[in-house]
Amino acid sequence: MSVLSGKKILLGISAGIAAYKAANLVRLFIKSGADVQVVMTPDAKEFVTPLTLSTLSKNPVYSSFYNEEDENAMWNNHVDLGIWADLMIIAPVTANTLSKMANGSCDNLLLATYLSAKCPVYFAPAMDLDMYKHSSTKSSISKLTSYGNICIPATSGELASGLEGEGRLAEPEDILKFIEKDLCSKLPLRGKKILITAGPTYEAIDPVRFIGNHSSGKMGFEMAKAAANLGAEVKLISGPSSQKINHSFVHRIDVTNAEDMYLACHEHYDNVDVAICSAAVADYKPANLSTQKIKKKGSNLTLELIPTKDILASLGAHKKKQLLVGFALETNNERENATEKLKRKNLDLIVLNSLNDHGAGFALDTNKITIIDKNLNLQNFELKSKAAVAKDIIQVVIKELHA
């Protein structure tokens, strides 16, 4: 899967013959898992139809501030479009649009949206040879890059005029590769390997019954996604969970019980930079596993339980270069118990959440955490969605890696 998967891409198209390539570019973005919204200059519709682009993007195409055919329709808000996008790509950029962007002119919806964009902006020039070499064009490109915009250079080849030379729009496949490479180079966890455990473990009593807990795995899966989105190669070791993840940087390893998880963790631990143990691993398992279903006989059933292997403590004992992060779900004496666990298991960070906090705990979409480091510094976070909490945790991990 591409690093563009899940990204919201605003594709701007200006009026040049190379606009015909925009259809293939939309298709490639969609194939990469992105959500694409197209904004065209009015004259760009002479080169490629909005119908084609809306069909490929599965979104309406905008080219003006309002719908001329429906006076009661809502206006097309350039500010909302600019805020919505994770990335804006303008391809092709004609000499005219390039100059207007560089000088802050704003006479159409595409330019207004560009000026409202809060995300990285890539632009791919396309024009004839003499226009591309003109000092005003070079000045516009230089000015735009000085603003923080990213130029996807034009290539050499046959031009619409019949001349050969620079000015040809980069091919859609090359535009895609350029953006992916640029994004990857800026990801703070690029080149890092992270192990994350998630979900519950099921400790079998007999072929149909088990001892488990209410963990859904949501927190671990959100951390895996957050880390992967920042460039990390993630080994996600999950107990039984209905959570789904589809990311090329995440390798999911499914396990069932504490022993399985212990073995999987130790198999990969030596090769990772960070291990985050968020799984709710059973502390005990039945001493004897019945090979047949235990029948109800009307009398009490007594089970002998024995301790499972302590995965977190074993990782702490074998720690070398790894940053080790544990979780503590507490119901009383929360900070004292979490701090004691941090020291006893040789952790670098521990994430504390309390069942006494409203909105925190198992099977919820929210969490409220406190992170304690090995120097006993505390960071308190407000109640947030688990996706937002995952990002907070990963940002603390990044800070520790660069400390």
Angle between the 135-146 and 95-103 helix axes, to the nearest 10 degrees? 50
Tens digit of each residue's pLDDT (9 = 90 or more) over 3-36: 888 899 999 999 999 999 999 999 999 999 999 9
Provide the CA 132 distance to its chain's centre, in angstroms.
36
- Residues spanned by the domain of 375: 193-401
Average pLDDT over residues 125-142: 94
Tens digit of each residue's pLDDT (9 = 90 or more) over 97-126: 999 999 999 999 999 999 999 999 999 999
Q: Give yes or no: residues 171 and 267 share one domain.
A: no
Helix, strand counts (H, E) of the chain = 13, 21
Q: Give yes or no: residues 293 and 361 share one domain.
A: yes
Listed range (107-116, 314-323, 361-370) with the worst mean pLDDT? 361-370
| Residue 213, token pair as written in the block | 């807990």
Q: Give yes or no: residues 241 and 129 share one domain.
A: no
Residue 1 has pLDDT above 70, yes or no: no
What percentage of the chain exceeds 70 in pLDDT? 96
Listed in order, strand segments (DSSP E) in 14-120 are 35-40, 87-93
Give pLDDT, residue 73: 55
Given the residues 24, 59, 67, 213, select the one marked as catalytic.
213
Among 185, 213, 239, which residue terminates a domain? Answer: 185
Pair type for strands 121-125 and 150-151: parallel
Among 149, 169, 185, which residue terminates a domain? Answer: 185
Residue 294 has pLDDT above 70, yes or no: yes
Pairwise CA distance, residues 294 & 310, whole Å: 28
Pair type for strands 87-93 and 121-125: parallel
Query: Position 77: which residue type?
Result: N
Give pLDDT, residue 70: 52
Pairwise CA distance, residues 259 & 204, whole Å: 12
Tens digit of each residue's pLDDT (9 = 90 or more) over 249-267: 899 999 999 999 999 999 9
Provide the CA 11 distance to its chain's centre, in angstroms.
20
Domains contained in the chain, number: 2
- The CATH number of residue 357's host domain is 3.40.50.10300
> Is residue 1 a part of any domain in this protein?
no
| Residue 152, token pair as written in the block | 């996807």
Among 154, 185, 216, which residue terminates a domain? Answer: 185
Q: Give yes or no: residues 259 and 144 share one domain.
A: no
Instruction: Select from 17, 281, 12, 266 the least CA-distant residue to 122.
Output: 12
Q: Give yes or no: residues 272 and 127 share one domain.
A: no
Question: With contact defined as beta carbons under 8 Å apart, do 368 and 381 qualify?
Answer: yes
DSSP string, 309-332: P-HHHHHHHT-SS-EEEEEEEESS
What percentage of the chain exceeds 90 in pLDDT? 79
DSSP 8-state assignment for residue 115 = H
Q: Give yes or no: residues 251 and 345 share one domain.
A: yes
Q: What's the whole-number average pLDDT of the chain? A: 92
Give pLDDT, residue 361: 66
> Is residue 339 a part of any domain in this protein?
yes
- The CATH number of residue 165's host domain is 3.40.50.1950
Pairwise CA distance, residues 233 & 231, whole Å: 7
Give pLDDT, residue 31: 94
Q: Give yes or no: residues 38 and 69 share one domain.
A: yes
Tens digit of each residue's pLDDT (9 = 90 or more) over 68-105: 655 555 566 788 888 999 999 999 999 999 999 999 99
Instruction: Select from 251, 281, 256, 243 the least CA-distant residue to 268.
Output: 251
> Is residue 164 a part of any domain in this protein?
yes
Paired with 87 in beta bridges are 9
| Residue 272, token pair as written in the block | 């990772």
Q: How far is CA 283 from CA 18, 75, 261, 310, 319, in A?
A: 63, 59, 13, 8, 22
Q: Give yes or no: residues 160 and 267 share one domain.
A: no
Q: Give yes or no: residues 138 and 232 share one domain.
A: no
The count of other CB atoms within 10 Å of the CB of residue 356 is: 12
Q: What is the pTM of this model?
A: 0.75
Pair type for strands 233-238 and 250-254: parallel
> Is residue 35 a part of any domain in this protein?
yes
Give pLDDT, residue 169: 95
Q: Give yes or no: residues 13 and 116 share one domain.
A: yes
Q: What are phi and psi of 395, to 5 degrees?
A: -65, -35
Q: Which of 359 and 44 is assigned the larger pLDDT?
A: 44
First-to-final CA distance of the chain = 31
> Is residue 386 a part of any domain in this protein?
yes
Give pLDDT, residue 78: 81
Residue 301 has pLDDT above 60, yes or no: yes
Tens digit of each residue's pLDDT (9 = 90 or more) over 145-161: 999 999 999 999 888 88
> Is residue 266 a part of any domain in this protein?
yes
Give pLDDT, residue 403: 78
Is 149 catalytic? The answer is no
Question: With contact defined as beta carbons under 8 Å apart, do 315 and 324 qualify?
Answer: yes
Q: Give yes or no: residues 228 and 369 share one domain.
A: yes
Give pLDDT, residue 274: 98
Q: Give yes or no: residues 250 and 178 share one domain.
A: no
> Is residue 3 a part of any domain in this protein?
no
How would you class 337 by CB atoms within 10 Å of its CB: exposed for 0-12, middle for 13-18, buried for 19 or more? Answer: middle
> Is residue 136 a part of any domain in this protein?
yes
Tens digit of each residue's pLDDT (9 = 90 or more) over 274-288: 999 999 999 999 999
